[in-house]
Amino acid sequence: MNSTCWLADRYPELALQPLWDYMRKRQVLFQSPLVAACFAFSAHLFFCTPYLLLDLLGDRWQWIYKYRIDGRTNESFQLRRWLDCLRRIILKYLSGILPSVALLQSLRGQSLPDEAPSCFLALKEIVMCLLLFDTFFFGWHYFMHRVPWLFQQVHRAHHQNHNTFALAAQDASIAELVSLQTLAQGTAALVHCHPVSEVVFHLLNTYLAVDDHCGYDLPWALHRLLPCFSGARYHQAHHQKYKGNYAPYFRHWDWIFGTTLVEDSTRPRHEADVHEHG
C-alpha cells in the first residue's frame, strides 16, 4: 500500500488504496461515457441544491436575501427560471456532452495503474490541474470576448443570465460546454493525473463553477476563507459588464493583465452591451 500520506501510516484504513481497488474492480462501469456524463450532471445538481433551498426559503425568511449579490429582496422565487435552465442543460448534455465524453474517452488509453496515489501526490496533481485549467480558461474566455463571432456563436448563450444563479454555471452553448470539457480533460492529461486525482479535480471544477454562479455572497464562501479565489461577486460583475474578470477561479491572471473589475459594479446594464460584441 502506498503510505506517503501520514494518515495512511497511522490509519491504514484511511488510505486511498481501498477506494482505488473498488474503482478498478468496476473499471468498465467507471469508463462508460454514459456513467461519466450522468455523474457529472448529478454532481452539478448536487452542488446546486443548497442554493435552490436558499432561493426557496428566501420568501419565508427575508434575511437570507441580504446575502444575494443582486440586492433584490422583494423578488419571489422563480421556479420557472430553474426549470427552463434545467431543461436546456439536459438537452445539451444529451446532444453535446455525452458524445464528446465518448470521443475523448476513446482517444485515451484504457490501462489503469495498480496502486493508488499517495495523499501528497493526489493533492499536488489536483492543485496543478486547478491552476492549469484556470490559465487555459482565462485565455479561452478572453478570446471569446475579443472575437465578435465567437462571442455571438459560442459564448453569448451563457450571458443570457445577467443575475447568475447556481444552475446557470452550465447554461451555455453546446460548443462552449464541449470546449470546456475538452480543456478539463486535456488539463488532466497534461498533468498526467492519477484517475483518483482526476475525479477529485473534476468534482472541484464543478463545485467552483457553481460557487461562482450561485448569486450569493455568504460568510463561509470559499473566497472569504481563501482570498486567492474569486467568488460569486467577482464573477457576477463579469456577467453584468460583459468584460473583465475572465479567470474562473483565481484572481492572479486578471490582476496581471489588468482585466480586474470592481466587484461592487454589479448593476445590470442595457442589452446593448451584448451587441457591442457583434
**DSSP of 172-199, one letter per residue?**
S-HHHHHHHHHHHHHHHHHHT--HHHHH
DSSP 99-141: HHHHHHHHHS-----SSPPPHHHHHHHHHHHHHHHHHHHHHHH
Q: What would the pLDDT profile of 195-248 be if each residue is shown by its tens digit?
A: 889 999 999 999 999 999 988 888 888 888 888 888 888 888 898 888 889 999
Tens of pLDDT, residue by residue over 26-44, are 776 667 778 888 888 999 9
Interhelix angle 79-92/33-58, rounded to 10 degrees, is: 170
Rounded Cα–Cα distance for residues 105 and 134 (Å): 22
Residue 142: what are its φ and ψ, rounded to 5°? -60, -45
Chain-centroid distance, C-alpha 176: 13
CA-to-CA distance for 105 and 17, rounded, in angstroms? 24
Instruction: Please give the Cα distance from 152 to 155 (Å, whole number).
Output: 6
State pTM to two decimals: 0.83
Q: Where are the domains of the chain?
A: 6-275
CB–CB of 138/235 below 8 Å?
no
* Neighbour tally for 162: CB within 10 Å: 17
Banded model confidence at residue 75, pLDDT cuts 50, 70, 90: low
User: Closest by alpha carbon to 260, among 245, 243, 248, 239?
Assistant: 245
In contact, 184 and 191? CB cutoff 8 Å: no
Contact 185, 104 (CB under 8 A): yes
Sign, CA torsion 267/276/85/44? negative
Question: pLDDT tens digits, residue range 107-144?
Answer: 776 677 778 888 889 999 999 999 999 999 999 999 99
| pLDDT for the residue 99 | 86
Q: Are 159 and 242 in contact (CB under 8 A)?
A: yes
Q: Which three cell numbers stand for residue 24?
A: 478498478
Among 10, 29, 52, which residue's Cα sits nearest to residue 214? 52
Angle between helices 98-107 and 174-191 (to 10 degrees): 30
pLDDT at 267: 44
Among 24-38, 49-63, 222-236, 249-263, which is the least confidently predicted range?
Answer: 24-38
Quick one: pLDDT at residue 12? 41
Q: Assess whether pLDDT exceeds 50 at residue 48.
A: yes
% of the chain residues with pLDDT over 90: 39
Count the neighbouring beta carbons within 10 Å of the beta carbon of residue 54. Answer: 21
Angstrom distance (rounded) from CA 262 to CA 260: 7
- Integer CA distances (angstroms), 242 to 14, 23, 211, 234, in order: 46, 42, 19, 12
